[in-house]
Homo-oligomer: A and B are copies of this chain.
């Protein structure tokens, strides 16, 4: 594997596991067996790597979501399966929550470059629910419960917010 990909792979793991500010360039290059000069040949700064990480995570996350829900046929079952996807992700990633929301709290609020990537990701998620539902109000309602499910399960290190959100969605959806 090429150095650039090794770096992205390592950043993908470490940024999500440890957070952005707690992960230094030195650890990234050590773990990916790359020289520091090579790193700065491929990425002009740590912030640059962060943007690429978020883009990679964006693709990864939606791919997995779509794969996970692909078995479901109806809109309703697809949406309910999306909550099951959250449960699976919490399990697989030890309740580390959403990389995008975590970064939102880590960056200064005037960092528009990264903020834009985060907003784009969440807009796509909002659109994901709107795609399946004619009732846009209902779609937003579900989007808000979905976001809560993510952040609250991270906070309480428990699946109850997801299962509760899912059961609420099950009743409000027609």
Query: Could you say which of B94, B144, B149 contacts A164, with CB atoms under 8 Å apart?
Result: B144
CB contact under 8 A between A140 and B156, given known A105-B106, A147-B151, A151-B101: no
Total chain A interface residues with beta-carbon distance under 8 A: 37
Q: Within the assembled complex, what's the spacing in Å between the Cα atoms of A102 and B156?
A: 14
A139 to chain B: closest CB distance in Å? 11
Q: Interface of chain A, helix or strand or loop or mixed? A: helix
Residue of B nearest to A167 (CB): B137
Which of A105, A109, A144 has the most CB atoms of chain B within a 10 A radius of its CB? Answer: A105
Chain A 57-83 interface 0/1 with B at a Cβ cutoff of 8 Å (1 = within)? 000000000000000000000000000
A71 to chain B: closest CB distance in Å? 27
Chain A 84-112 interface 0/1 with B at a Cβ cutoff of 8 Å (1 = within)? 00000000001111000111111011000
Is A26 an interface residue, CB under 8 A from the partner? no
Query: Chain A interface (Cβ within 8 Å of chain B)?
Result: 18-19, 21-22, 94-97, 101-106, 108-109, 118-119, 122, 137, 140-141, 144-145, 147-149, 151-152, 154-156, 161, 164-165, 168, 172
